[in-house]
Structure 1
Amino acid sequence: MKFDSLHQLGLDDREISIYRALLRLGPASIRDVAAESGVNRGSTYETLKQLAGKGVVNYFPRGRRRVFQAEEPEQLLQLGERRQQALSQAMEQLRTEVIPELKQSRAEFSPGNVRFYEGDDGVELVLRDILDSTAADPERGYSVISTKTLREHLYRPFPNFTRQRESRGIRVRVIAVGEGGDEAEYAERKWLPASDTSDASYIAIYPPKVAMITLADKDYPVVVIIDSAAIASTQQILFDTLWGLL
């Protein structure tokens, strides 16, 4: 029997072993549970208390001793539901209280605001970050400067990026350096002339972040993400100015 689902409920191997021993035994003393499970008596007692706290074991007095018994296995579903509810509440608290407060306490800029990635995994991370960040922004839009020499490599690790962007209603303005670039929904495009040998470069501005991608030897992607509202704002001003001139 696989116990991955029980582990997801927060039960460790010892708790699972003792719970199963109780199911086999029925109401039993600590000594009998320890013998059946192969766990020493002291650890058995502590584990039984933990299981009782989780609502999957109960106990009652029998003379001067305490006898334990396992709750019905269906009780595990209730344990899972309680855990799921607690996790949902924690996620909501993270989203509405904890993360905003932590962001306020963070230094305005530090070396940690600059992150480096390599390879197709790094490119995919940037593309997914763009989608997730802009989807949460009321403006739901971002800006891109992209050269022809990089475009053919950009969506290799994330071929359905454009489809996902369109399905989320995320707008993009693109200044394409060199010919090419497919038309797409929620996308505006303007062009700058360039030779076919221009350096490979992709710059995405999605405040408060700016992501830059280029190619090293043998078309190996190198990625930099700068998380800085000041830098993103300046880059946006430059982009908007150039956009207005084209």
Structure 2
Amino acid sequence: MDGKDIEKLGFTKNEATVYLALLELGSVSVGAIVKRTGIHKAIIYDNLEKLVKRGLVHYVIKANRKHFEAQDPETLIRFLNEEQKLLKQKRKLAERLLPDLV
């Protein structure tokens, strides 16, 4: 799969690259992700944090090291459904505020 397809879902290039690497590699350390992607370690950590917050990635501790793993890809649909709900709420708020803004 091309990372550009994942980017169309609202991910940055690096988030998409890290997510796809995890889908391919399974449960791995950051070092393995760096080796697979060529992205600097600090950037990997930043993107992993974002993906964990979105619920698309989780980690377990193995031998005192974090090993990251992508959640089931179906989680991506659930994440997008949540994003859609939030967007609807924002739209309703904007519609309520509109008369005061005009």
* TM-score past 0.5 threshold: yes
Q: Which runs of 5+ in 1 are unaligned?
A: 104-246
Using the alignment, how far apart are the partners of 1:41 and 1:24 within structure 2?
18
Q: Which residue of 2 aligns with 1:100?
A: 99
How far apart are the structure 2 equivalents of 1:44 and 1:6? 17
Alignment of 1:72 with 2:61, yes or no, is no
Match of 1:13 in 2: 13
- After TM superposition, list the pairs within 5 Å mapping 1:100-119 onto structure 2: 100-103=99-102
- Is the 2:29–2:66 Cα contact (8 Å) retained in structure 1? yes
State the distance in 2 between where 1:64 and 1:25 align: 20
CA RMSD in angstroms comes to 1.6
Q: Are residues 2 and 33 of structure 1, via their aligned partners in 2, closer, same or farther at CA, if it must alter by over 3 Å?
A: closer
1:56 corresponding residue in structure 2: 56
Aligned residues: 102
Asked whether the equivalents of residues 56 and 70 of structure 1 are also in contact (C-alpha less than 8 Å), the reply is yes
Task: Give the Å deviation of 1:47.
Answer: 0.5
Match for residue 90 of structure 1?
90
Structure 2's unaligned 5+ residue stretches are none
1:30/1:68 contact within 8 Å kept? yes
Match in the other structure for 1:149: none
Cα distance in 1, alignment partners of residues 11 and 3 from structure 2: 9
User: TM (normalized to structure 1)?
Assistant: 0.39
Give the counterpart letter for 1:32 in structure 2.
A
8 Å contact from structure 1 (residues 15, 47) kept in 2: yes
**Normalising by structure 2, what TM-score?**
0.90
**Aligned position for 1:41:** 41
Over 3 Å counting, the alpha-carbon distance change for 1:8 and 1:94 in structure 2 is farther
The ranges of structure 1 where at least 4 consecutive aligned residues each deviate by more than 6 angstroms after the TM superposition are none
Q: Which has more helix, going by share of residues?
A: 2
Structure number having the greater strand percentage: 1
In the TM superposition, what whole-angstrom CA distance separates every residue of 1:119-165 from its partner, at most 9, and x where no partner exists? xxxxxxxxxxxxxxxxxxxxxxxxxxxxxxxxxxxxxxxxxxxxxxx
- In structure 2, distance between residues paired with 1:102 and 1:5: 37
| Structure of higher CA gyration radius | 1
Q: Which has the higher relative contact order, 1 or 2, with Cα contacts under 8 A spaced 6 or more apart?
A: 2
Q: SS state of the match for residue 55, structure 1? A: coil
- Alignment check: 8 A CA contact 1:34 1:41 kept: yes
Q: CA deviation at 1:40?
A: 0.9
1:127-166 equivalent positions in 2, closer than 5 A: none
Deviations 1:163-198 (A, max 9, x none): xxxxxxxxxxxxxxxxxxxxxxxxxxxxxxxxxxxx
